[in-house]
Structures are given as structure tokens and as C-alpha cells.
Amino acid sequence: MAVYTEISDEDLDAFLEQYPVGRALSCKGIAEGVENSNYLVQTETGPLILTLYEKRVNPDDLPFFLGLMEHLADRGLPCPLPVHGHDGRALRTLAGRPAAMVSFLAGMWPRRVTPHHCDRLGGALARLHHAGGGFAMRRRNALGLEDWRPLFDRCAGHADGVHPGLRAELDTALMDLEACWPAGLPEGVIHADLFPDNVFFLRNEISGLIDFYFACTDVLAYDIAVCLNAWCFEGRGEFNVTKARRLLAAYQAERPLSDAEMAALPPLAQGAALRFLLTRLYDWVNTPDGALVRPKDPMEYLHKLRFHRGVKDPGAYGLA
């Protein structure tokens, strides 16, 4: 949930005048995304999503994100399509913040993930990787391997207060990954944050892939590793190999994994678990009491990290 910035009706009217979308009929802050302020704007020509980029997004990255959504949407991916103004620009300023509007996508994200959802996710992720192939811009992953150690250093002192022994456990996991991080794997555009709340379904088919604000150029199989973490564990922490098998099989039907990519899945999955564990830990120890956004519990990802560290063979993920 996140609506940080209030927009006056006068400011909204002046903003919309710069786009060929008609006038605003309503504008409601919506509980979607945690980094930015999002509004569902009903205009005379239909619904749109208006996003105000808050301080955690680097404005210099916005042309990459907006350009990528447009590139993917043009290639048939169900991504939000940025709306261009009369002057051709998609990005401008509203209420003192960078702002853009994108197309409204029907559908709802699955509150209860099923193996069927994982199947559809796998196919969509492979198509996203294919479609991203021709995208000319590059963006470094700002939360990749080299960023984890500095992030850990900034919250290590609080780790044992969250869970006894956490500091040493994370230090060991991080050293192991720094020593064995896979190299030479196929790279390209990855979403890097494809959690269930970023994937809309309508009538059991994918109708939207949203929130490209962590997208970057990185190892493609790392995106799979993020999804294994985000989609294939049950509420009590059990790994659901059926979901993983469906996800991987559907992915491979569109983009077969090389032997090297398959072999790299366990460390990539450890890395993905560590990445979310570290950002959640950082938010957990740095969020002031009374903040509007309640930080997510980092412990969920400690259990996932431990699972992946116990995986000796990628067959554990249901690879045939």
C-alpha cells in the first residue's frame, strides 16, 4: 500500500491537458506498489494508471523503465504502455515529482498461488526474456551480487537483534556466494521483482505484468530464481516442487535452459533469497515507528535461503 503524494484537482487537470486522453472524471489513490504513489484515473477516454515517482526511484532510471515497458508492450507482452503527451514525452512533473501515465491493465494478482499460475508465469517470463532481447538500453542491477555486501554492512549490527545468530549466518551465506557466483550465463533484460502482486490474471490467464521499477540487465536465469522464491513456497515455508516444476517446464517450452543455467539455479536461488532478505532486513531496522508502510518480515527469506543452501542438485527444483 502506498499513496504518499496528494494531487490537487487543479494540478491534475493541468497535467492531463498535456495528453490526448480527455479530462479526468475521477482520481483515486490505489494500494499498489510500495515504492511510488499510484492513482487510478478515470478519464473521458477510459481508465489509466498515474504514477508519481517517490524518492526511492532514481529519476535517471525512468527513461529505461518507461522505454522497456513500451518495448515489451509493442512486442505483445501484456505490460503497461506509457502514454505520450502532445509533445511526444511520456515523462513529466506533477506535484513536484517525476510522473507518468500508463495503460490500465485488467486482472487481479493471485492471492492464492496455484501450480496453474506458476505454469502461466513460466511461459510469460520466457517471453519477457525473448522480447527484451532487442531492447537497446542497459541498466545495471543496483541490487546485484556486488551490492549485497555493502547493504549487509549497513544493517549487520542490527541482525542479531532480529534473530540470534543472523549476522554470522548471513555473512557465511554471502561469502559462499561471493566465492561461487556463476559467470558466463546468458544475460538480458530481467524484471528482477516478479512477485505475485506484479502479475495479473483474468479468467486464469495472465493479463498483466507490472512494476518494472527494478528491471535491469542481468543473468536471465536469476529472474527464474526470483520467481522460485516468490511463487513456489507455501505459507509455512515448505517448498512446493510441483509449482517449481510447472514454472520451469513452461519456461523451458519457450526458452530451454542450457546445462550451465540449470546447474546455476541453486546459487542463483540462494542469491535471490539473500537479496530480498537483505532489503527486508534493511527496511525492518530502518523503518521508523508509525510509518505508513509496514516493513515485511525478513525471516521469511531466511527460511528460503536455508532451503536453497541445502539444495545439492537442481533436480530439487523439479527439473526433468
> Using CB under 8 A as the criterion, which residues of the chain lie in contact with a copy of itself when the complex forms?
1, 3, 6-10, 12, 24-32, 40, 42, 47, 104-108, 110-112, 200-202, 289-292, 294
Residue linked to cell 521499477: 213
CB of 128 to a copy of itself, least distance (A): 21
In this complex, which beta carbon is closest to a copy of itself, that of residue 120 or of residue 308?
120
In this complex, which beta carbon is closest to a copy of itself, that of residue 211 or of residue 218?
211
Closest C-alpha to 274, from 304, 297, 294, 296: 304
CB of 66 to a copy of itself, least distance (A): 21
Up-side HSE of residue 105: CA atoms within 13 Å toward CB?
25
In this complex, which beta carbon is closest to a copy of itself, that of residue 6 or of residue 238?
6
In this complex, which beta carbon is closest to a copy of itself, that of residue 211 or of residue 261?
211
Contact 156, 168 (CB under 8 A): no
CB of 27 to a copy of itself, least distance (A): 6
In this complex, which beta carbon is closest to a copy of itself, that of residue 112 or of residue 312?
112
> Partners of 82 in the beta sheet?
102
Enter the C-alpha cell of residue 64.
529505461
CB of 74 to a copy of itself, least distance (A): 23
Enter the C-alpha cell of residue 72.
515489451
One-letter amino acid for residue 291 of the chain: A
3-state secondary structure of 36: coil
Chain centroid to Cα 255, Å, comes to 20
In this complex, which beta carbon is closest to a copy of itself, that of residue 42 or of residue 240?
42
Paired sense of beta strands 91-94 and 46-52, if any: unpaired
Contact 140, 217 (CB under 8 A): yes
Closest C-alpha to 215, from 58, 39, 52: 58
Separation between Cα atoms, residue 248 and residue 245, nearest integer Å = 5
Closest C-alpha to 318, from 264, 239, 256: 239
CB of 107 to a copy of itself, least distance (A): 6
In this complex, which beta carbon is closest to a copy of itself, that of residue 222 or of residue 231?
231
Enter the C-alpha cell of residue 15.
497535467
CB of 178 to a copy of itself, least distance (A): 35
Closest C-alpha to 157, from 285, 300, 289: 285
Cβ burial 155-182 (10 Å sphere, 16+ → b, else e): bbeebeebeeebbebbeebbeebeeebb
Enter the C-alpha cell of residue 272.
535471490
CB of 40 to a copy of itself, least distance (A): 6
Closest C-alpha to 195, from 181, 182, 213, 178: 213
CB of 118 to a copy of itself, least distance (A): 16
CB of 47 to a copy of itself, least distance (A): 7
In this complex, which beta carbon is closest to a copy of itself, that of residue 258 or of residue 287?
287
In this complex, which beta carbon is closest to a copy of itself, that of residue 1 or of residue 14?
1
